[in-house]
Chains A and B, each alone.
Chain A
Amino acid sequence: MTRNLEAGLLAGAAALAGFGVALVEFAGGGSAEAQVGLTFLIFGAAFGLVHVGIRRFAPMATTTLVPPIALVTVFGFVEIYRLDPDRASLQRWWLVIGALAALLTLAWTGKQGITVLRRYRNIWFATGVVLLLLPLLPDLKVIRGVELNGSRLWIDIDLGFTGMSFQPAEIAKLVLVAFLAAYLADRQPALTQARRQIGRFSFPEPRQLAPLLAIWIGSLGVLVSQRDLGASLLLFSVFIGLIYAATGASGYLTGGLALVAIGGYGAWRVFDHVQRRVTAWLDPFSDFAGAGYQLSQSVFALGTGSLAGSGPGLGRPDLIPNAITDFVFAAVGEEFGFAGSVAVLCGYALIVASGFGIALSSRDRFRKLLATGLSLILGVQTFLIIGGVLRVVPLTGITLPFMSYGGSSLLGNFILVALLARISHEEAT
């Protein structure tokens, strides 16, 4: 696929976004040519910025990464527009901000090379920890942590003339993966070589287990302090996956699974909200009017959508609580049907495949680990939230990358894509 074809696909996605908005307006019996045009232009501008950034700063990057991202972004945006036009116009501007951030990331890493990230390893670690702790801030007038739906994962920033909410975990996951990739690239020998022999069994040195336990405790800390099941599980599984990728020692995976089981059981025992989620997951209909309502509405939406869907604007995804954030996939499933659901799943499969493709073709150790970590973030996060909506796993309440409403999520994921594109470029030259 040539760069020009990629540009064509992005323009097509922008047209699709405008077309989706037009369909929603048509279904509602109104006409909003301005919204159609604005959506087309802003999508064109945002993905145009990303594209120009890639042409300028990562010209050799793979062309299969950005088009599927544009596709799923369009699906998510049409549903957000259909459910909440006001927030959709905010989302449009966040899209531009995300694209600008991607452009800046490309420019910065383009000048210095992606390995510049390796140099600031400890800064990333500190930044990540601070970001994760931010929501615990008391009210400091300018900035304060906010509790929402039982979880404390937001901060409000109030600068007097304007205010905004931000979800620091969306950025924290990036810097922490950057830290861990750098750390593992530096520490490779120490983690794989030494093993202690006791009788017929060989065990890793106790100090090798230290990072694993540190990550576990850190993740549990996120869970306990912020009650954020999703972020906690995401961070933990991505880190375990990354350590496994670095060492090839499958013991980290089994050990990680065991720790997830222990942590999960403990969380289930201790936290009401975890128990409620597990009960609602196992049988949402037993408490239809209460804890199971959201998941019941989700499967009703999917079933009613059936093969072809109701069509954008013609279903009732408004019956699903939080349809524009956690449940945006169910909203797409209802209005675009099985066809839309499969398109979205294929889109994510392509994105993740491109990411892992970049990792696998990387020769440099740091770049390979960073690409693996970033791909894992996308893959695991997508699986956790879509799996939650489909009742494959308990609902964890994290955003669906590129599709859910939310500025921090879009911003973080656009930076993530820029990093992947840059790695792809560097490994191709």
Chain B
Amino acid sequence: MNRPTRRLATAIFLAFGVLLGFVTWYQVLAVDRYRNDPRNARTALSESGKERGVIVTRDGVVLAESFPDPDEPTAYLRSYPEGPAYAPVVGYTSLLAGSAGLERTFTDELRSRRDFTISDLIAAALGGDLRPRSLQVTIDPALQTTAYSLLEGQRGAVVAIEPSTGELLAYVSAPSYDPNPLTQPDALDFRQGLLDDPAEPLVDRAGNSLYAPGSTFKTVVAASAIESGLARPETEFPDLLEFPLPNSSATISNFSDGVCSTGDTVTLQVAFSRSCNTVFADLAIRLGAEQLGDTASDFGFNREFELPWPTAESVFLTRELRDDEAALGQSGIGERDVRATPLQMALVAAAIANDGEMMRPFVVRQVFDADGNTERVFEPVRERRVLSPAAAAVMTEMMERVVTNGTGGRASVSGVRVAGKTGTSQGSGGPPDVWFIAFAPVEDPSIAIAVLIEDGGLTGEDATGGALAAPIAAQLISAWLNR
């Protein structure tokens, strides 16, 4: 009578085998799924109160640091001494409110790996350093804080890039928020207040909001024409009062509601400096959706950039525009379905400034260990060649004349050659979103900028890129070159 007993024992052991299989699933195979589930508070709880690394700017301004909790000797508190101006870059890390920005994307580097576990002991025995590491960012503090204060009272963004490297010099979104209260016990109430605020302070307008780029997009259209050989600055176009859109009763007129020049013909250069819509609608249709779409994609449209936090993909709908010339004409002046982030338009300026070669934008320059030794350096990376050096030189000259002899006059800085392009996008009714993109100095550009102000900013209905955004670009260029 041992056989049934043996079978029962076998059944029990098989059942234990199933238990072993399930344990293996939870603790070996599916660890990431359960450990990183947003409803699993354990990771956040274990990070909270631990020391984290410092985040500093290129000249040593501290943006985030940990300090010992005066009430609890073993715990640390996190603080962001520079407050709202840097919030879109640095972000925050909070037990209650989660994390954002560099605090989120670089949390593996910033966190202390000292968990008092056996794995710690092993790592330490093998010479591993468990202390938190620190970050140095590419942001220039003077530029960042100046840009933030220039946007005060308005909704908008400033992105500044070093064209030769892709280093972000400024990344500003306004209005912003103070990350410090998010680390406090009443973080959830504070965050709810931010979420309820109609000015939407939590939105990253620099890299994660899409706007019609308006006439700044003419830079892409002109670059496409020059790179493809379809036109040169001297090429003449009909100077119409209204450009009739094909297969449509709609027309496109100029911002002034008049002709661009004499009413006869107008060169591409003059049309660009004066930002004439009739010529660029015409030119976009002549280029065709494929050619224009290729150039836009080379400039970074329809692509995501990670800074390392994710950014929104700027949009140029090549396929939809292929059979719709009327829409293509409207897209040629940056309206209709074209959408771009301020980051994207800064990249357009930066690529032209860097002789047609786009560098990949980045914000973390170095990772240091706890002793201050460099552990990792992020080298500039070539993203892609967008324009030939010759075409880039032609575009530079055209953009310089926007400032010297066109709509961008208020971007001029005494003693500095500035190239730029204005934009005033009607968008969906209401006051316009206004733009200015620029780079300087022309002979050896060290900064490329995009300025965006939503809904006419402080000037309302009458706002234009030339009047509202260009002066901000000028002040920032001046601040950067006189640093």
**B4 CB to nearest A CB, Å:** 5
A29 to chain B: closest residue by CB: B74
Query: With A248-B4, A345-B20 as given contacts, are A356 and B117 in contact (CB-CB < 8 Å)?
Result: no
Residues on the A chain within 8 Å of B33, using CB: 303
> Assuming the A-B contacts A360-B5, A372-B8, are A303 and B34 also in contact, with contact meaning beta carbons closer than 8 angstroms in the complex?
yes
Given contacts A246-B1, A341-B23, A345-B19, contact A303 B30 (CB under 8 A): yes
Q: At the interface, yes or no: A125 with Cβ under 8 Å from chain B? A: no
Q: How large is the interface on A (under 10, 10 to 19, 20 to 34, 35 or more residues)?
A: 35 or more
Our count of residue pairs bridging A and B at CB distance below 8 angstroms stands at: 144
Q: Which residues of B contact A345 (CB under 8 A)?
A: 16, 19-20, 23
| Cβ B42 vs Cβ A245 within 8 A | no
User: Which residues does chain B contribute within 8 Å of A319, judged by CB atoms?
Assistant: 41-42
Instruction: Name, among A27, A250, A345, the residue most crowded by chain B CB atoms within 10 Å (CB to CB).
Output: A345
B15 within 8 A of A: yes
Contacts of A368 in B (CB 8 A): 1, 5
Binding site for B on A (CB under 8 A): 27, 29, 241, 244-248, 250, 285, 288, 296, 299-311, 314-316, 319, 333, 337-338, 341-342, 345, 348-349, 352-353, 356, 359-360, 365, 368, 372, 375-376, 379-380, 382-383, 386-387, 390-392
A245 in contact with B23 (CB, 8 Å) = no
Question: Is the CB of B118 closer than 8 A to any CB of chain A?
Answer: yes
Is the CB–CB distance between A304 and B8 below 8 Å? Answer: no
> Given that A302-B27, A315-B42 are known contacts, is A383 also in contact with B19, CB under 8 Å in the complex?
yes
Shortest Cβ distance from residue A363 to the other chain B in the assembled complex, whole angstroms: 10
**B39 interfacial by beta-carbon distance below 8 Å:** yes
Which residues in A have their C-beta under 8 angstroms from that of B35?
A: 300, 303-304, 306
- B12 contacts across to A, CB distance below 8 A: 352, 356, 375-376, 379-380, 383
| Contact-residue size bin, chain B (C-beta under 8 Å from the other chain) | 35 or more
Query: Are A316 and B45 interface neighbours, CB within 8 A?
Result: yes
Task: Decide if B378 is an interface residue (CB 8 Å cutoff).
Answer: no
Interfacial chain A residues near B119, Cβ < 8 Å: 308
Smallest beta-carbon distance B35→chain A, Å: 5
B309 to chain A, nearest CB (A): 25
Contact between chains at A304 and B40 (CB < 8 Å): yes
Q: Decide: A309 and B23 in contact? CB cutoff 8 A.
A: no
- Bound Cα distance A314, B49 (Å): 13
Nearest residue, chain B, Cβ from A338: B27
What are 7 inter-chain pairs, A to B, with CB distance below 8 A? Answer: A248-B4, A303-B40, A316-B41, A333-B26, A345-B16, A356-B12, A392-B19
| A234 CB, min distance to chain B CBs, angstroms | 13
Given contacts A300-B37, A304-B40, A356-B9, contact A386 B19 (CB under 8 A): yes
Whether a CB of chain A sits under 8 angstroms from the CB of B374 is no
Closest 7 CB pairs of A and B: A303-B34, A379-B12, A338-B27, A302-B26, A356-B9, A300-B40, A390-B22
**Docked pose: A334 CA to B377 CA in angstroms:** 37
Q: In the complex, A372 Cα to B7 Cα: how many Å?
A: 11
| Given A315-B42, A319-B41, A319-B42: A299 in contact with B117 (beta carbons within 8 A) | no
